């Protein structure tokens, strides 16, 4: 196939493909209208003008040492606006609706209780309320969404293990896995610290993913695999610096959840053409392209795919592979994955 024959590299065509998204944070996907509504309900002043609310650096006082650290503090502010289960259910439903508008039929969404102060003492209740909204959305035919409970990289081992214990004991609806996120540059290597928490999650049947290879180098990716048992790597782009690690990712089919616009925004790469997403895919790594924090970054999944297609000359076959790999990398059930792949096959046959 080629881009000229079916045009699968355009934004409308990509939107029409049944896709999965595996690296997106709920905290970074809350739209401006939802934040303004929640701020009014909480009677909380905005940290800056509404029109530039996502320009975190413009209202970060005192300044933080890195753009990511400043952004994480902004997430703390917005998470504090949501104190009722009803608000969380509404937020979850709207997230699923926006995913559906991008042609996403399944999503693993990352949620870090550290950013939700009203729920830190009972994280299982946070995930249960979100799960109720996601289940309601699925019942209405919208995107199926499941959550990954994320450990903040600056936590100690006991706090991480407490989170895992809490969600394992209650097993909130829609919870599928655990994650770890935060600023690698500030916290350094943390694989050993969270090994116990991830092992407990694995024993309980939860899936495991981890942020690594973003501001850390290849060693962060190796730690995530060897110490945390990560089945998928969020970001993982700096694995490209170690050819042996790239071969391992390809051989073991450990997917990477790449977020090009996010990486450019944080200055990891100067231009999209410099980004290693294409090199990783050509090396046989199961690459997925995702949004990370779509509201804050002003992006949508179909736009991310189209940008990569234009930058790297991806044709229709490459886009279809990207769609297939998105489902293979997801934590969907076997039946959900098979159904999505069958729909994708039908789309491919219709375009042939």
The gap between the terminal CA atoms of the chain, to the nearest Å, is: 8
Domain ranges of the chain: 16-351
Can you give the pLDDT at residue 57?
Answer: 54
Selecting among 21, 89, 214, 231, the annotated active-site residue is: 214
pLDDT digits (tens, 9 = 90+) for 46-89: 988 999 999 865 555 555 556 777 888 899 999 999 999 999 99
pLDDT digits (tens, 9 = 90+) for 82-134: 999 999 999 999 999 999 999 999 999 999 999 999 999 999 999 999 999 99
Does the active-site annotation cover 78?
Answer: no
242: which DSSP letter?
-
Q: Which CATH number fits domain 16-351: 3.40.50.300, 3.20.20.140, 3.40.710.10, 3.40.605.10?
A: 3.20.20.140
- The whole-model pTM stands at 0.94
In the predicted model, what is the mean pLDDT of residues 4-26? Answer: 90
pLDDT digits (tens, 9 = 90+) for 21-35: 999 999 999 999 999
The length of the chain in residues reads: 352
Percentage of the chain lying above the pLDDT 70 cut: 95
Confidence label for 206 from pLDDT (cuts 50, 70 and 90): very high
Residue 291 CA to residue 62 CA, distance in Å, equals 28
Residue 308 CA to residue 261 CA, distance in Å, equals 10
The torsion angle over the Cα atoms of residues 326, 329, 335 and 340, rounded to 10 degrees, is 10
Residue 232 CA to residue 221 CA, distance in Å, equals 10
With CA atoms as reference, report the closest residue to 124 among 157, 76, 79, 169: 169
């Amino acid at each position: 196939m080629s881009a000229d024959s079916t045009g699968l590299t355009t934004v409308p065509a990509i939107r029409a493909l049944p896709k999965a998204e595996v690296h997106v944070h709920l905290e970074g996907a809350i739209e401006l209208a939802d934040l303004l509504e929640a701020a009014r309900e909480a009677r909380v002043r905005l940290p800056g003008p509404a029109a530039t609310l996502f320009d975190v650096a413009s209202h970060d006082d005192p300044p933080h040492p890195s753009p990511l650290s400043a952004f994480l503090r902004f997430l703390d502010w917005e998470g504090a606006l949501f104190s009722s289960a009803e608000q969380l259910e509404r937020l979850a439903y709207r997230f699923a609706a926006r995913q559906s508008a991008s042609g996403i039929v399944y999503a693993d969404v990352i949620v870090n209780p550290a950013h939700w102060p009203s729920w830190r003492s009972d994280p299982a209740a946070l995930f249960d309320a979100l799960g109720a909204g996601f289940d309601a959305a699925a019942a209405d035919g919208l995107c199926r969404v499941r959550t990954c409970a994320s450990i903040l990289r600056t936590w100690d081992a006991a706090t991480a293990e407490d989170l895992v214990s809490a969600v394992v004991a209650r097993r909130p609806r829609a919870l599928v896995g655990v994650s770890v996120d935060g600023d690698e540059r500030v916290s350094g290597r943390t694989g050993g610290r969270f090994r116990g928490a991830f092992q407990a999650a694995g024993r309980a049947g939860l899936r495991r993913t981890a942020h690594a290879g973003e501001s850390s180098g290849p060693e962060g990716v190796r730690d995530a695999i060897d110490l945390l048992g990560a089945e998928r790597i969020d970001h993982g782009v700096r694995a490209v610096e170690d050819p042996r690690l790239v071969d391992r990712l390809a051989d073991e089919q450990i997917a990477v959840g790449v977020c090009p616009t996010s990486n450019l925004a944080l200055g990891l790469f100067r231009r999209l053409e410099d980004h290693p997403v294409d090199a990783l895919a050509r090396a046989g790594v199961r690459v997925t392209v995702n949004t990370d924090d779509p509201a804050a970054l002003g992006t949508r999944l179909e736009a991310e795919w189209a940008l990569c297609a234009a930058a790297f000359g991806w044709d229709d076959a490459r886009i279809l592979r990207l769609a297939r790999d998105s489902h293979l990398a997801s934590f969907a059930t076997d039946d959900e994955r098979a159904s999505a792949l069958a729909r994708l096959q039908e789309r491919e046959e219709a375009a042939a």
